[in-house]
Each structure stands twice: as structure tokens, then as C-alpha cells.
A = this chain, B = another copy of it.
Amino acid sequence: LELREKELEKYKDMKLERKDGRRVYVNANIGGTVDLGPMLARGADGIGLFRTEFLFLDRDDLPGEEEQFQIYKEVVEKVGDRPVVIRTVDIGSDKKPEYLEFPEEINPAMGYRGIRISLNNKDFFKTQLRAILRASKFGNVKIMYPMISAIEEVRNANSVLRQSRLELLEEDVEIGDPEIGIMIEVPSAVAMVRELAEEVDFLSIGTNDLVQYTLAVDRTNEKIKDQFTPYHPAILRMITRVAAAGREFDIPVAMCGEAAGDKLLIPFWLGIGIDQLSMSPVSILPAKETINKWLNRDKTELIQKVLQMPTVAEIQYYLSRRE
């Protein structure tokens, strides 16, 4: 085990580059400042997903702008010039703070959550956006909206962002100019990905929810857990479409679900041109090892073969033999 750790250690500071010079970034998903140590210790290239839910849970009231700003600033400063993708809050579903009103929900994962809550509570949303805009002065910050299912939501969110920016400028508060991105995790966002790509600076595929909705399989449901899998051909084809749209509109496509660190799938992600993989800190070093192995191998045949396969079993078997 120690030997294995030593072996992985050498990837910590390794920059991963394709032959043509394009870099592949291995980023961290973090859920709070507590994850900063572990991610830096493993040489994460940045934060691909900063989940801000922890700020909103286990408390009696909404966190104010100043409180949020201080935390965002702390994270941004601690990672230096590495990029930090701050996702606006994705509460609802299994995370419902008591100070907000939620409806009775029979299927909360397909309910009042994420950007739907933010757009329905503009002041609340503005507070978070103002805090992020202020923190963006201190580093390389990007803003990401969760649970986007329609282009109207992106436009509405961007309009609240514009208002927040104008207000801050009028108040003579210094702000940065963060890039704007969206999660691709609802199936309709895949169907609309070309139009969505025109509205934003980057896309980030959330495989957990994308798999869940696309297969209609709740990933917490023990009885059907075998059916929850990113190896499903529908998922791989849809993700390939997202990657193609990123290329067409010349914006980066990242991935931040658990599948981003999946050893067997990494060659596929690299092959379709996903150059930013974000994962929990513990997965970073093994992922870098796999990326390093595959980075400059020809993946054309692998991609072609996988995209033709109609079943999970064939895909899984084929990928496991390519290891």
C-alpha cells in the first residue's frame, strides 16, 4: 500500500499535456474549506466544482452576502491562481433548509431545486451572486448554474447577474469578471446543447444527475442500483454530443460527476475531447496516472467502437480489456 502511494506521488506535480500542447486539467470537487488541504496535497489543478450547499444548510437563516464573500474569498485565496468554479446553490431534493418554503414533493429529485429556487427568490440569488462577484476580484473565479433545463433559465440567471454587477459597480465595490458556465445534467440540456453553448463560456457535465434522469433510475434506490451506470450507451452518446458542441462553439467542456474519475472511462473522456475532469480529492492521483497513460495514445478506434455498442455489458467488457 505504501509502495502504491509512493508510485502515485510522482503524479502530484505532473502537468498533463497532449502532444499538441493542450493541457488536461484534473480538478477537485469540494464541499467546503475543509477539502482545500486534501486537494492541494494531491496537486489538483483547480476547483472544478465548489458546492456551496454547506453554507445554506444546518442553520436557521440565509447566509448573508458578507459571510458568503468571506468564505468564497478564503477558498479563492488559498488556491492561488488556480481556477475556482463556484456553483450557485443547489439546495432542494434531499437538502431542504427550514428557513425556505418547500412544497410537498413526491419526487424531490425532479422538484423545486437548484436554479429553480434561485430564480424564484431573486434577492436570495442576488446575495450569492454579489458575494461571488466580490470574491472574483481575488483570483480566477468562474460561476456555474446547476440544474439548467432550458435556455430561458440561463438568460434569466444572467440577467440577475448583470443587475448584481451593475449594483456593485454603482456602489463602487471592486469586482472581477468571472466566466459563466452551466451544468449539463438534465437530459433536455443535452438536446439543447448547441443553443446553450452560445450563451455561456463553458459547460460542465454532471454525470450523477444526468445518468439518474436519463435512465429514470434514482441513484439512491438500492433495488435498482445495478441499472444506475455511466456505461449506458445512451449516456456515452449524449456526452459525446456535448463534447462536440463544445468544440463547435469553441468553449471548454468539463466533467464533474463521479464518472470523471472512473479509470475505465477516462480514455473515452479524453478521446472525445473532454480536457477538464473534476473529482473528489482522493481520486485525483489515480486519475492522473490513468490520464498520463492514455494521453497520447490513439483513441479513435476505442471511441468508434464504444459509440457503436448497444449494451452496458459490451461497453464495460471492452473498456476493461483496454486497461
Which residues of A are in contact with B by a Cβ distance under 8 Å? 94, 102-103, 105-112, 116, 147, 149-152, 186-192, 195, 209, 212-218, 220-224, 227, 232-235, 237-238, 310-313
Copies of this subunit: 2
Which B residues touch A147, using CB under 8 A? Answer: 216
Q: Select one of B105, B107, B187, B232 contacting A234, CB under 8 A.
A: B187
Considering the complex, give the chain B residue whose CB is closest to the CB of A109.
B107
Looking at the assembled complex, report how far the CB atom of A56 sits from the nearest CB atom of chain B, in whole angstroms: 18
- A152–B312 touching, CB < 8 Å: yes
- A217–B94 touching, CB < 8 Å: no
Considering the complex, give the chain B residue whose CB is closest to the CB of A101.
B223
Which B residues touch A217, using CB under 8 A? Answer: 110, 149
- A188–B235 touching, CB < 8 Å: yes
- A221–B110 touching, CB < 8 Å: yes
Looking at the assembled complex, report how far the CB atom of A152 sits from the nearest CB atom of chain B, in whole angstroms: 6
Q: Select one of B107, B149, B187, B234 contacting A110, CB under 8 A.
A: B107
Which B residues touch A209, using CB under 8 A? Answer: 216
- B216–A186 touching, CB < 8 Å: yes
Given A187-B213, A187-B234; 19 other pairs, CB 8 A cutoff: A102-B223, A103-B221, A103-B223, A105-B218, A105-B221, A105-B223, A107-B109, A107-B220, A107-B221, A110-B110, A110-B212, A110-B218, A111-B224, A147-B216, A149-B216, A188-B214, A188-B235, A191-B235, A209-B216
